[in-house]
Amino acid sequence: MTTATEVPADLLAFLDRVDTALDAMFTGDPGPYADLWAERDDVTLCGGWGTVEKGHADVVRTFAWVGSRFSDGTREREEPSVVVVDGDLAYTVGFERGVVRVDGGEPAPMVLRVTHGFRRLDGAWRLTHRHADFPPPDPRKATT
């Protein structure tokens, strides 16, 4: 298993491509993000608005729907909290933060907790899984 300080250079480069693609998604362009996904039947998406998809075609179709809802967004670049690599498999855990206009509304902050899964296929890293949700309030920090 590889720690965050030992992440292979090719995965670091791919993570930078993912960041750039997510920047585009926040402006309403899902194409760059969709292009990073493995064209396989076993890719999966558990989306922030409740969508659950399996298979490349359904996952990419959902990204087109999400992109159609977004405009005028900016995303803060943030390193993942966790990066784990084991051979040809990897995952990251972190947050996506930014401001985006959803469905033509006013620009508003958006924070998602995100886990991405990656697989090295034919020598190149590809996305294979995304789980995102809107983090609920931490009940341990509730005031009475």
CATH classification at residue 12:
3.10.450.50
11 in any annotated domain: yes
Counting the structural domains of the chain, the total is 1
| Rounded average pLDDT over 96-117 | 97
Among 89, 36, 88, 84, smallest CA distance to 63 is for 36
Q: Does residue 141 form part of some domain?
A: no
Q: Bridge partners of 95?
A: 113
pLDDT at 73: 95
Q: Output the pTM of the full model.
A: 0.91
* Residue 119 counted as domain residue: yes
With H, G, I as helix, E, B as strand and everything else as coil, classify residue 81.
coil
142 within some domain = no
Beta bridge partners of 82: 93
Residue 144 lies in a domain: no
68: phi then psi, degrees, rounded to nearest 5: -70, -20
Is 24 inside any structural domain? Answer: yes
Q: Which domain holds residue 34?
A: 4-136
Contact 47/65 with Cβ under 8 angstroms? no
- pLDDT tens-digit series, residues 16-47: 999 999 999 999 999 999 999 999 999 999 99
Asked if residue 143 is part of any domain, the answer here is no
pLDDT tier at 142, thresholds 50, 70, 90: confident
Q: Are 82 and 58 in contact (CB under 8 A)?
A: no
* Backbone torsions φ then ψ of 140, nearest 5 degrees: -70, -15
pLDDT at 6: 87
Question: Quick count: other Cβ atoms within 10 Å of Cβ 89?
Answer: 12
